[in-house]
Amino acid sequence: MAIDVGDAVPDFTLSDDGGEPVSIRDLRGRPALLFFYPKAMTPGCTVEACDFRDRHESLIAAGYQVLGVSPDPPHRNLRFREKEHLSFPLLSDEDHRLASTLGAWGMKHQYGKEYEGIIRSTFLVGPDGRLERAWRNVQAQGHVRRVAEDLGL
């Protein structure tokens, strides 16, 4: 069962696109936007990541950290980050533990088939490590604009 707004995000440590560990403790003190995307270098994920890239300066100016999260291994995330000139780290949640905890992993349907996978979602983790907002099961196109509007940017 996914945690709810107001709950503490459990401790986690994931590898970033350079293979370095990033934990919830590293994010404390500033609000962090974690956006979950299904697969690096696919059309929808590229649209969403590039939208976050294009708004990154305004998000940073408002005090937010931005991190992308996917089940991709670090080397694939690194290629994605370099190819699209992404200005924020991409984290690898290969065992889906963090995605499951936040409700970004579950059953999906595509072309008449059912399978488990990343449910495109974004989460705002407060400076104290508590979940402040959740945008679950979103569309890539226009999502970042909505997040920015919801944050008053």
Catalytic residues: 45
The 10 Å Cβ neighbour count of residue 126 is: 18
Structure token digits, residue 72: 């991709």
Residue 45: Cβ-neighbour burial (10 angstroms; 0-12, 13-18, 19+): buried
139 CB neighbour count, 10 Å cutoff: 11
Q: How many CA atoms lie within 13 A of 19 on its CB side?
A: 1
Indicate the pairing of strand 32-36 with strand 65-70.
parallel
- Spatial separation of the C-alpha atoms in residues 32 and 42, rounded to whole Å: 24
For 50, residues 6+ apart whose C-beta sits below 8 A from its C-beta are 84, 86
